[in-house]
Amino acid sequence: MSTPPYTGRLAPSPTGLLHLGHARTFFIAHQRARAANGTLYLRDEDLDPQRSRPNFSIAMREDLLWLGLTWDAELRQSDRLPLYLAALHQLLAAGLAYPCSCSRRDLALSAHAPHEDPAAESDDELLYNNRCRPTGPVANLSGPAADLSNARRPRRTYRFRTPDHTPISFTDLHAGPQTFTTSTDFGDFLIWRKPLTSNPSDIGLPSYQLACVVDDALTHITEVVRGRDLLKSTARQILLQRALGYSTPTYFHCDLMRDSDGLRLAKRHDALALRTLRANGLSPADILAMF
Ligand code: GLU
């Protein structure tokens, strides 16, 4: 069997200005794609209705181009809702997803933080206590089949049903061998968020995990290059790929950049935003020299 051609992606979320940390990850992704003579997508991950802003989408494109990074095709997640909905239906039909009616407050009171390596850097989802998880076998056809009709236009939150106490292993091309175990490192995770309005045309939104897996598969991504804070998400995404019948790409999780206090760079570090550095007279070459 011949190896599929290298296909990678830059997947910024337009929730703030790109800073040095993003630039470094995207630079590495770009370099790896170009070295492999591959194709690179720019995927605008604009699904967070509260934090995504069109101005940030424009700014991130400008900043990437200023830095000399180019891409071959673009997609925007907010254009792709039917694809994510089809994946939700497929998981429901397989008995691998279920509706969850827990409020944020329920979750805060009952869910607990996953067993976490203190050096871990993730902004991670809490371990779910399985309150809404259906009892009985996974392939309980009457439950999922009945729910499927409700999910045509979802008005609820849905979770992925993870197998209990199951290690998920992969070898990261940069961070080395990784294993995360369900029920300890992460539990049944969100795949669909309920609508925030009562407008009947509002069907809510896929979670980052579901949208990412669907897009990576449908755009035939062969290698995912992203920040190390998403290592544990990779284990969740591998489970979703298996459940949806997708293949698993290779992964390269880059180290995170830190500020002078040792804190991970986040979008709130405006002083390290690419445009601030640019306004202060730094050239793209000066930025690249910092990596
Ligand atoms: N949109 C995510 C971010 O800005 C990256 C997701 C990914 O690369 O899978 O951190």
Report d(CA 225, CA 209) in Å as an integer. 15
Minimum CA distance residue for ligand 1 atom 6 = 11
Specify the ligand 1 atom closest to the Cα of 43: 1
Ligand 1 centre distance from Cα of residue 138 (Å): 30
Both tokens assigned to 132: 């809404």
Looking at CATH, the fold of the domain delimited by 7-289 is given as: Rossmann fold (3.40.50)
In this structure, the residues whose C-beta lies within 6 A of any atom of ligand 1 are 11-13, 45, 212, 226, 230
Q: Would you say residue 145 has pLDDT above 70?
A: no
Of 59, 73, 77, which is closest to residue 208 (Cα–Cα)?
77
CA–centroid distance, 110 to ligand 1, in Å, is: 28
* Ligand 1 center from residue 48 Cα (angstroms): 12
Interval between CA 44 and ligand 1 midpoint (Å):
9
Atom of ligand 1 minimally distant from the CA of 15? 4
Which amino acid is residue 133, in one-letter code?
R
7-10/39-44 β-pairing: parallel
Give the tens place of pLDDT for each residue, 214-261.
999 999 999 999 999 999 999 999 999 999 999 999 999 999 887 777
Query: How remote is the C-alpha of 58 from its chain's centroid?
Result: 21
**Cβ–Cβ < 8 Å for 8, 225:** yes
The continuous run of DSSP H or E covering 32 comes out as helix 20-35
**What are the DSSP calls for 58-76, one per residue?**
HHHHHHHHHHT---SEEEE
> Model confidence over 82-100: pLDDT tens digits?
999 999 999 999 999 999 9
* pLDDT for the residue numbered 268: 59
